[in-house]
Amino acid sequence: MMAPSFKEYFHLMDDVSDGRPSGSLPRAVALLRTLAASGGEGMRLTNAAATAGVTPASAHRLLRMLIDEGMVEQDARSKYYRLSIEFFSLAARAGNPSNLRDICRPVLLRLSAALGDTVFLLVRSGFDAVCLDRCEGPVSIRSFTNDIGGKVILGVGQGSMAILAHLPESEREEVIRFNLPRLLHFGLFDEVFFRNEIERVRESGFAARGSGLLPDMAGVAVPILDRERRPLAAISIGTTVERLNAERLPTVVQVLRREAEALAPKINPFDAALRRPGQQVGSY
């Protein structure tokens, strides 16, 4: 089986496949999701309506409402709809739960300057991890969570793995059970390998190298743990395989760990979010 392209990968993460939403709010959200999944160019009305599972008439009415609300823009002559910059700006403030990003920013800057690599801040979101912040180092990097706001399946990539591995037993199992099919779908893991990897990370306290999903790319990540040793987030650096050689690795891990430990007490422990089961995650 072939490894999926980035585009395929991210497409599969979108939960557009809602079965006929009812009520105007769910429909509107379905449209927003659809537009988000459409990429930067936007979508035609008919297409968006079909994808979101809404009649064209409703889609038209709803999209107009959303334009009135400033959440959606429409290209003046092509009629293409897209999410608005204002929507982007509005939601950008959601990427700072309990001021996590603000608190971690200086650390990311320091790490990126000290190590010369790209640094990421990741948090869990359901069965995925989301990149909250990123500081570019001089070395150019490709990564699953390259972009701020980018989503990866929990367990894919070092930062994501660091979070998963440090979840408490029951949650960890729940996530593994949910994610295994998603991962196998890509032919990237078999279960034993995956579970071994998780154990290794949990015991060593950091995730390194990772799965070699991206050739020549390597990374290290450590979790930020609260007093009950629950993972609040992960700090991760992305670099090239050659830069992360055997003699440099321990140093990097130590630097990361020190920063993560210093960070932990500063973070106001926010509770696990309340969520309806089975929502907001892709179904395969």
Q: Which residues bind DNA (CB under 7 A)?
A: 22-25, 27, 44-47, 54-58, 60-62, 64, 77-79
- Tell the residue number behind the tokens 């650096």, with chain if given: 237
Is residue 87 at the binding interface for a second copy, with CB under 8 A as the rule? yes
Scanning 61-69, 155-163, 164-172, 184-192 for contacts with a second copy by CB under 8 A, the matching segment is 61-69
Q: Which does 96 bind (CB under 5 to 8 A by kind): DNA, a second copy, none?
A: a second copy
Rounded-to-integer distance, Cα 179 and Cα 160, Å: 12
**Which residue, 43 or 176, has its beta carbon nearer to DNA?**
43
Q: Which does 57 bind (CB under 5 to 8 A by kind): DNA, a second copy, none?
A: DNA
**Which residue, 79 or 275, has its beta carbon nearer to DNA?**
79
Is residue 274 at the binding interface for a second copy, with CB under 8 A as the rule? yes
Is residue 98 at the binding interface for a second copy, with CB under 8 A as the rule? yes
Q: Which does 86 bind (CB under 5 to 8 A by kind): DNA, a second copy, none?
A: a second copy
Please tell me what DSSP assigns to residue 147: S
**Which residue, 38 or 160, has its beta carbon nearer to DNA?**
38
Is residue 273 at the binding interface for a second copy, with CB under 8 A as the rule? yes
Instruction: Fill in the amino acid letter for 172.
Output: R
Task: Report which of 117, 269, 113 is spatially closest to residue 208, judged by C-alpha positions.
Answer: 117
Phi-psi region of 116 (alpha: psi -120 to 50; beta: other; left: phi over 0): left
How buried is residue 272: exposed, middle or buried, by Cβ count under 10 Å (0-12/13-18/19+)? exposed
In angstroms, the Cα distances linking 128 to 37, 157, 273 are: 17, 11, 14
| 178: Cβ contacts below 8 Å, ≥ 6 apart | 127, 281
Q: Which does 238 bind (CB under 5 to 8 A by kind): a second copy, DNA, none?
A: none
